[in-house]
Amino acid sequence: MTALALDRVSVSLGGAAILTELTAEVERGEWVTLIGPNGAGKSTALRAVAGLVAYEGRIDVLGDDAARLRRRELARRIALVPQIPVMPSHASVEEYVMLGRTPHLAYLASEGREDERAVERALDRLDLLPFARRHLGSLSGGERQRATLARALAQEASILLLDEPTSALDVGRQQQALEIVDELRAEGELTVLSAMHDLTLAGQYADRLLLMDGGRIVARGGAAEVLTRGLIGEHYGAEVRIVGEPDSGLVVVPVRRPVRS
């Protein structure tokens, strides 16, 4: 079944076309990653799916036209992990993760036992229980990243949007964060749509890649089809070598162009 279907989705901001007639589908349980140079429209595409920017065209979320869903209903289906989350430093991890329960509460209702259990599960899943009372301001970058993931998890939405989920992390934390997402996907039919800069990680974790440039999708397919020297050279303006790793797929290595004398 299709989890997300974008049909000729266009976004313009201040008269400039940011996305032009994007058409794509993400199947339930699939991990699709948007790649492309800066300004390609990856973040805008995610924000359109999350209902945060006005768009033309149609986006279906779990079979329903997103434009017709109430904001709260949309938030029960889609959880967004933004590129740079705003983290109120005075809030405790537990309070912050509890914010993920917002779409499940009636307008003036308070959280109940079920919400507390959902938060506990999310904290446990990301090994954050010992940090529950700690203030966000006292956490390291990796711990904050996990807290944001835990909040998205507590939201119990079946579609997860990740905008550059690893940009602030060292290589070990990057791998950890993506492994956790991959496990969650395997466990619970989670559908993931992410935007990533690191082409090697993108290729290793995603089922399919959508290469964007100038607000359009210019190539799509598995890592082997999209991560080619030609496409990357054309759209990133980068010289790379693609190395095949027998177990984990492709590695994209930037190489320095020979200096002209």
Partner 1 sequence: MGRPLRNRLALPLGFAFLIVAMLIGALVGPVHIGVGDVLRAIGAHIFGLRSPLHGASDAIVWELRLPRVVLGVIVGGTLAAAGAAYQGVFRNPLADPYLLGAAAGAGLGATLAVAYIPSSAPQRDLLPLAAFAGASVAVVAAYALGSSTGSVSASASLVLAGVTIAAFFTAMQTFVQQQHLDTIQEVYSWLLGRLATAGWREVVIVLPYALLSWVVIILHRRYLDVLAVGDEEAAALGVNVRRVRLLVVAAATIGTAAAVAVSGLIAFVGIIVPHTIRLLVGGSYRLLLPLSIVVGGGFLVLADVLARTIVSPGELPIGVVTAFFGAPFFAVVLRTSRRYG
Note the residues at the interface with partner 1 (CB under 8 A).
Answer: 47, 50-52, 71-76, 78-80, 82, 85-92, 94-96, 99-100, 102-103, 105, 108, 110-111, 116, 119-120, 132-133, 135, 137, 155
CA distance 261 to 120: 62
Nearest CB to partner 1, comparing residues 151 and 235: 151
State in angstroms the smallest separation of the CB of 86 from partner 1.
4
In the complex, minimum distance from the CB of residue 4 to partner 1, in angstroms, rounded to a whole number: 15
Instruction: Indicate the residue among 19 and 232 with the shorter CB distance to partner 1.
Output: 19
Q: CB-wise, 36 or 100, nearer to partner 1? A: 100
**Maximum CA extent, the chain:** 71
In angstroms, give the least distance from the CB of 161 to partner 1.
9
| Least distance (Å) between residue 235 CB and partner 1 | 28
Task: For the CB of residue 120, give the shortest distance to partner 1 in the complex, in Å.
Answer: 7
3-state class (DSSP) for residue 41? coil
Q: Which is nearer to partner 1, 100 or 203 (CB)?
A: 100
* Alpha carbon distance 230, 162 (integer Å): 27
User: Within its chain, how far is the Cα of 185 from the centroid?
Assistant: 13
Which residue, 195 or 219, is less far from partner 1 as judged by CB? 195
DSSP string covering 211-259: EEETTEEEEEESHHHHS-HHHHHHHH---EEEEEETTTEEEEEE-PPPP
Q: Could you give the CA distance from residue 160 to residue 194 in angstroms, rounded to a whole number?
A: 8
